[in-house]
Structure formats: structure tokens, C-alpha cells
Amino acid sequence: MASSVVVARSKPDGLEYLALEGARAAWTDAYDLAQQFQTVRDATRAAMRLPSRFRAFALPMHASSTLN
């Protein structure tokens, strides 16, 4: 079971995570700064609202997962 869900996009050297700064969407390499969602559905909805050029997706994260 996922403990949280984030919105991510791939880049050549890893992943970037969606982080909200005020009303604007921004991307961060730091998982701990990512906006966290309660469900995959909510994260998918947020990813679908982004321009298609971002190619973002919902990514469920487990409590035991660590990404650096």
C-alpha cells in the first residue's frame, strides 16, 4: 500500500517531482519537497492538468522507498 503519491516526470538523469510554490507549479529533484497526494487518482488528475509537453505521471511511493 502506498503511503503517498507524487506527480513525477522523467529526465535523462532521473526523476523530477511536482512541487507547488504558491499558485505556480514547479519541479524539484528532491522527493521530500514534492507535493504529496492522498490517492493515485488525485495525483493523476493533477498530472493531467499540466501541459502535455511535461509528460507527467502519478507515482505511488511506499514508506520503505527511498529515492536519491
User: Would residue 47 count as lying in a domain?
Assistant: yes
User: Would residue 66 count as lying in a domain?
Assistant: no
> What confidence score (pLDDT) does residue 5 get?
92
User: Would residue 45 count as lying in a domain?
Assistant: yes
User: Would residue 68 count as lying in a domain?
Assistant: no
- Give one word for 16, left, alpha or beta, with left for phi > 0 and alpha for psi -120 to 50: beta
Question: pTM, whole model, 2 decimals?
Answer: 0.76
Q: Tell me the three cell numbers of residue 19.
A: 512541487
3 pLDDT higher than 90: no
User: Would residue 67 count as lying in a domain?
Assistant: no
CB of 47 closer than 8 Å to CB of 19: no
Could you list the residue range(s) of the whole structural domain that residue 39 is in? 4-61
8 pLDDT higher than 90: yes
Quick one: average pLDDT of 20-46? 87
Structural domains in the chain (count): 1
